[in-house]
Amino acid sequence: MTDTTDQAPNNEHSGIHPTRFGIFLAPFHPVGQSPTVSYERDLQLLEHLDALGYDEAWIGEHHSAGFEIIPSPEVFIATAAERTRHIKLGTGVSSLPYHQPLMLADRMCQLDHLTRGRVMFGVGPGALPSDAFMMGIEVAKQREMMEEALDAILQLLRTEEPITYETDWFTLRDARLQVRPYQRPHFEVAVAAQVSPAGPRAAGRFGCGLLSIGATSVGGFDALGYHWNVLEERAQQFSQPADRNGWRLVGPMHIADTKEQAIADVEFGLGQWVDYFQRVAALPLAPETTDHASLVDALNASGFAVIGTVEDAIAQVKRLDEQSKGFGAFLLMAHEWADREATRRSYELFSRYVIPEVTGASRTQVASRDWAAENRPQFIGEAGAAIMSAIQQHAEEKAKLEDAASAD
């Protein structure tokens, strides 16, 4: 395989632009809150997104550190599926080293049936070292374990023949799924990526989609073109498809009617979110400052986040489109920087104005309005003439009736 580490991404755009939009729900909930209430708020948010027409939602798996409190995305998805109608629901992600592959594949197939084919399967090695520590898993082995488990799960999904697979941490003997997936040949599978090439390598090898969770971080943004190059090369090496429509980029935004309003909104929870990433989580996503105005400026200036307006959000998606040279879906990273109402308003603004602009969905409406406006004098003239003709016809008919009545 050619080494692409020092190669710049191809400047030619693929022609693929984002047409699907959704949410990546870790979730992030500040400590000290009721988990019961937090879960309910998350479920209500998905109902809101479903009503707004968002395409998909990815639900995280975490077991420590207090902020990201969903340990079983499958259980959460099963509940959310009963409260939504259209939105697709994915594990974002299932940490494969934490699970026996047959058990996880079985649960996902059951969930595929329960959701009538609305489920997606996101996988990764596990993001929190504290999770791995509690289970006695060496962090250095997690990516290798993920690839082994993914290989076994995909074999289970892609064949009805029994498989035998043995590693130093799991064994399958004549294993097969007794319930096949609802979707055929199986539900969509996507591999998480941050900065390391491990995710693109696995996605390319197995013909899976790619979830670029840190797409807007400095390292993640810079690596976008490189990651796709790695995926394509591995896909070619293993005779697998490489489809940019299956590539999802994740980034945080909070938008309001004005930038000043957006900045005021996020004073509610931005500081706690930044503190979590500065002191607890292993991902270097947050700037090293605690002053609110400085935090907002740093997040916006780095390109990591958008705290601003609809126009700022549109510019960010287009910026990612150019840097990646084309991807299929943009996912808003859920964060609770603002209170409930301001957060819901941000998602509504994004669906009403950002998505139609990015996809071109409103272009024909604008064109139709402009055409009607441009030709209004002609149309009004014809309409006026038609009205006068109708009035004249009515008058003539009335006159004839009156003449007939007089003759009698």
Per residue, the 3-state secondary structure of 79-116, as one string, reads HHHHHCCCCEEEEEEEEHHHCCHHHHHHHHHHHHHHCC
Note the pTM of the prediction, 2 decimals. Answer: 0.92
pLDDT at 287: 67
CA 46 vs CA 248, 350, 372, 378: distances in Å: 19, 15, 38, 48
Contacts of 174 (CB under 8 A, 6+ apart): 162, 163, 164
**pLDDT given for residue 402 in this prediction:** 82
Q: pLDDT tens digits for the chain (408 residues)?
A: 334 333 444 557 988 999 999 999 999 999 999 999 999 999 999 999 999 999 999 999 999 999 999 999 999 999 999 999 999 999 999 999 999 999 999 999 999 999 999 999 999 999 999 999 999 999 999 999 999 999 999 999 999 999 999 999 999 999 999 999 999 999 999 999 988 899 999 999 999 999 999 899 988 999 999 999 999 999 999 999 999 999 999 999 999 999 999 999 999 999 999 999 888 886 666 667 778 999 999 999 999 999 999 999 999 999 999 999 999 999 999 999 999 999 999 999 999 999 999 999 988 988 999 999 999 999 899 888 889 899 999 988 988 888 888 876
The predicted pLDDT at position 5 comes to 38
